[in-house]
Amino acid sequence: MLEPVTPSEGWPVLHLFLTVDHGQVPHLPPGAAKDLADVLGRWQESTQLHVFSTLGHKSDVMLMAIDPDLGKLRALQTEVQGCEAAAALELTWSYLSLTEAGEYVTTGEQYREEMAAKGVTGEDLDTRVEQFVERMATYVDHKLHPQMPEWELACFYPMSHRREGDDNWYSLDFTERKRLMHDHGKSGRAYTGRVLQLVSGSTGLDEWEWGVTLFAHDLADLKDIVYTMRYDEASARYAEFGDFVIGIRRSPTDLVAEVGLDRSGR
Ligand code: 76R
């Protein structure tokens, strides 16, 4: 047994994008598709593994795994790449990131000052600050240790903050960045219940600065949120985006049939 490799804060998130080589499928041993489905099913019992079939040339399958132990994500990748269907599978893209609480979380002290400035005093102020601190602790815990629900659709894309001429996020002062993120959060919250986001940090871990995974029930909501948020100053002026991939949540068994690995049903 290898020792767990667990970050001091946050959980590692691994997105794997696999493409099926249909020319190889007829040469796979019997039961190869079932073997992949079994591997995925077993991992779903021991870690948070979300399985999607994807559309377009970028990939056929998106696996999103979240686990405290980086070594477990590595082992998952090895099993997928070593399964009996491996000869017909190519890992065409991947993304590694780490969940984060975010830099702009309001502290109890800041909240106290804000409330005091609004004229709240005495016991009322103490109670409100206490409740706020509790709410924030839950919020941060959800950010660092997400348990993502099984919504039907996913959209993944990487992004970075721009660093160009006058549009350099990293030369803005903290107050300005916090204001921009606050506005961003406000426009995002209009999608509560329709879109769930996991924004995990990847500076120093992968090509871009964040991996953005959106879960939704309705494809139109995914298009709508990304369009609408482009008008937020934080995105309009300061964001660069990578490729977008859309996934449909599937059970491992349905997945292998849908992407053409399992020919037994035909
Ligand atoms: O005031 C607040 O509560 C803000 C909370 C908040 C932060 C700090 C928040 C809320 N986000 C934050 C940080 Mn977000 N987010 C994205 C994208 O497509 C795009 O335009 C960008 C991709 C979407 C769709 C989205 C959605 N967010 C971030 C960061 C880190 C910035 C940093 O640290 O510098 C990035 C890169 C980012 C990107 N965001 C929300 C949403 C939604 C729907 C919300 C509101 C829901 C919620 O609070 O959970």
Question: Nearest 5°: phi and psi at 64?
Answer: -125, 115
Q: Does residue 265 surpass a pLDDT of 80?
A: no
- Please write the tens of the pLDDT for every residue from 2-12: 999 999 999 99
Q: What is the rounded average pLDDT of the residues 133-143?
A: 95
Between the alpha carbon of residue 56 and those of residues 10, 12, 43, 231, 252, the distances in Å are 32, 27, 26, 27, 20
Confidence of residue 263 (pLDDT cuts 50, 70, 90): confident
> Could you tell me if residue 23 is inside a domain?
yes
42-80 burial, b at 16+ Cβ within 10 Å, e below that, comes to ebeeebbbbbbbbeeebbbbbbbbbbbbbbbbebbbebb
What is the pTM for the complete model shown?
0.94
> Could you tell me if residue 67 is inside a domain?
yes
pLDDT value, residue 163? 94
Write down the catalytic residue from 95, 104, 111, 157. 157
pLDDT value, residue 225? 98
CATH code of the domain containing 61: 3.30.70.1030
Q: Is 157 a known active-site residue?
A: yes
Residue type, 118: K
Q: What is the rounded average pLDDT of the residues 184-195?
A: 96
pLDDT value, residue 209? 98
> Could you tell me if residue 216 is inside a domain?
no
Q: Whose CA is nearest to atom 4 of ligand 1?
A: 185
Q: Does residue 131 surpass a pLDDT of 80?
A: yes
Report the nearest atom of ligand 1 relative to the CA of 169: 34
Q: Does residue 148 surpass a pLDDT of 80?
A: yes
> Could you tell me if residue 72 is inside a domain?
yes
- Please write the tens of the pLDDT for every residue from 15-38: 999 999 999 999 999 999 999 999
- Please write the tens of the pLDDT for every residue from 151-175: 999 999 999 999 999 999 999 999 9
> Could you tell me if residue 176 is inside a domain?
no
Compute, in angstroms, the gap from residue 203 CA to the centroid of ligand 1.
16
Q: Does residue 264 surpass a pLDDT of 70?
A: no
Q: Does residue 266 surpass a pLDDT of 70?
A: no
Mean pLDDT, the chain, whole residue set: 96
pLDDT value, residue 161? 97
- Residue-number span of the structural domain to which 80 is assigned: 12-100+249-258
> Could you tell me if residue 34 is inside a domain?
yes
> Could you tell me if residue 185 is inside a domain?
no
Report the nearest atom of ligand 1 relative to the CA of 230: 20
Domains held by the chain: number: 1
Structure tokens at 125: 């102020």
Assess contact for 189 and 139: CB atoms under 8 A: no
pLDDT value, residue 151? 98
H-type alpha helices, the chain: 32-46, 70-81, 108-117, 122-144, 174-188, 219-229, 233-236, 252-258
> Could you tell me if residue 153 is inside a domain?
no
Question: Residues with Cβ within 6 A of ligand 1?
Answer: 102-104, 159, 181-182, 184-185, 188-189, 191, 195, 197, 199, 210, 212, 214, 225-226, 229-230, 235, 239
